[in-house]
Amino acid sequence: MADFLLNALLAGLALAVVAGPLGSFVVWRRMAYFGDTLSHAALLGVALGFLLDVSPTLAVTVGCVLLAVLLVTLQQRQPLAADTLLGILAHSTLSLGLVTLSFMKEVRVDLMAYLFGDLLAVSHTDLLWIVAGSALVLGLIGWLWRPLLAITVHEELARVEGLPVTAIRLALMLLIAIVIAVAMKIVGVLL
C-alpha cells in the first residue's frame, strides 16, 4: 500500500475513534456550534502561523485552545446568549484569517486545502500529530467519563455532589479544541 494511502487511513481511523465519544458529549450538551466556531478560528491560527513563521499545526492548536478558554470565560461574564457570542466569534475569526492570508504577499498557500481539507496530503508529521492528539483526548475522555456524564445529565446536581463543574466544562472545551486542531488537515476549517 502506498504511504499516502496508509497515512490517510491511519489518520482517518484515529480521528474516527475519538470523534465518537467526544461527539456524544457535543450532541448531548447541545454544543454543535461551539465546534463550528473553533474550526472557523483555525484559519486564523493558520494565518498567524505563517505570519509568525511557526508550524501551522502548532499555531492552530494554540489558537483553538486559547479561543476555547476565551469562549468559556465570555459565556460566564457576557449578557449575550451563547449562540450570539459563538456566531460573532466564528465569523470574525474566519474573516480575520482570510484577510490576514490575503495581505501576506510572500506566502503562497493552497487555501482550498485549508478550507476543505485534504485527506491524501497527510504527511508522517501530520499523522504523528493526529495520532498523538487523538490518543491524548481519548485517554482524557476515559479518565473524565463519569464527571463529564454527571455534568451533562444535570449540572446543578453535579455541583451539589462536589464536582468542579467549571473545570470539567473547560476540560471538555479543551478536548474539543485539540480534536478540531488536529483534524483541520483532514476535514478543513469550513467542513
Confirm if 186 and 175 have CB atoms less than 8 A apart.
Answer: no
Q: How high is the pLDDT of residue 191?
A: 65
Q: Which of 170, 179, 177 is nearest to 151 (CA)?
A: 170
Q: Is the pLDDT of residue 3 over 90?
A: no
* pLDDT tens digit sequence for 95-130: 898 888 888 877 777 677 777 888 888 889 889 989
- Span 159-176, average pLDDT: 92
Which of 15-24, 30-39, 89-98, 147-156 is predicted with the least confidence, judged by mean pLDDT?
30-39
Percent over 90 (pLDDT), the chain:
28
Q: What is the pTM of this model?
A: 0.84
- What domains can you pick out in the chain, each with its CATH number? 3-187 (1.10.3470.10)
37 exposure class (CB count in 10 Å sphere: 0-12, 13-18, 19+): buried
Confirm if 98 and 46 have CB atoms less than 8 A apart.
Answer: no
* pLDDT tens digit sequence for 23-82: 899 888 888 788 888 888 888 888 888 888 888 878 888 888 888 888 888 877 767 777
Helices (H) and strands (E) in the chain, counts: 8, 0
Q: How high is the pLDDT of residue 18?
A: 94
Rounded Cα distance, 115 and 84, in Å = 23
Confirm if 25 and 172 have CB atoms less than 8 A apart.
Answer: yes
pLDDT band, very low/low/confident/very high, at 15 (cuts 50, 70, 90): very high
